[in-house]
Amino acid sequence: MRDAPDRDLILLAGGAGMAPIMAQLRGLAATGSTRRIRFYYGARTERDLFALDEIAELGSGLADFAFVPALSEAASGSYEQGLITEVVDRHEGDLSSADAYLCGPPPMCDAAMELLTGKGMPEERIFLDKFTTSTGT
């Protein structure tokens, strides 16, 4: 995590990309970060959501935190509906004063890069880990 206390944070994960983002969230909570932090998580169904209690607990110790899960398939009224990048687009305006950390499948990361830079975030402040697929031979 880059030391930039004056910049907002966008944490964005899809599927199993939750694990590295959770590690960052734990670090932010341990230091009592005062940054504006928005954690967006994309899953297919409500059944795919996990660690909700831990996220709530970690977030309760942060000054300005929100967790926004989104479901790409049938959603209950409790969660945002759509691809996670669509949800970020609805919730965020100008991101020129923010950093982003992304982890997930390549299509999600590619779409997020385009969205975030389109909202003013410099590409050099977007840090990502794209999943790769392996093929068996």
Q: Flag the least confident range among 4-8, 36-40, 112-116, 127-131.
A: 127-131
Ordered by start, the domain boundaries in the chain are 15-130
Give domain 15-130's CATH architecture: 3-Layer(aba) Sandwich (3.40)
Mean pLDDT on 32-55? 94
Under 8 Å between Cβ of 118 and 35 = no
- Which tens digits make up the pLDDT trace of 1-29? 887 888 999 999 998 899 999 999 999 99
What is the side-by-side order of every strand in the sheet holding 126-130? 80-81, 64-71, 36-43, 8-14, 98-104, 126-130
**How far apart (Å, rounded) are the C-alpha atoms in residues 80 and 68?**
7
- Which tens digits make up the pLDDT trace of 64-116? 999 999 999 976 778 999 999 999 999 999 999 999 999 999 999 999 999 99
Helix (H) or strand (E) holding 14: strand 8-14
pLDDT band at 136 (very low <50, low <70, confident <90, very high): low
The pLDDT assigned to 135 comes to 54
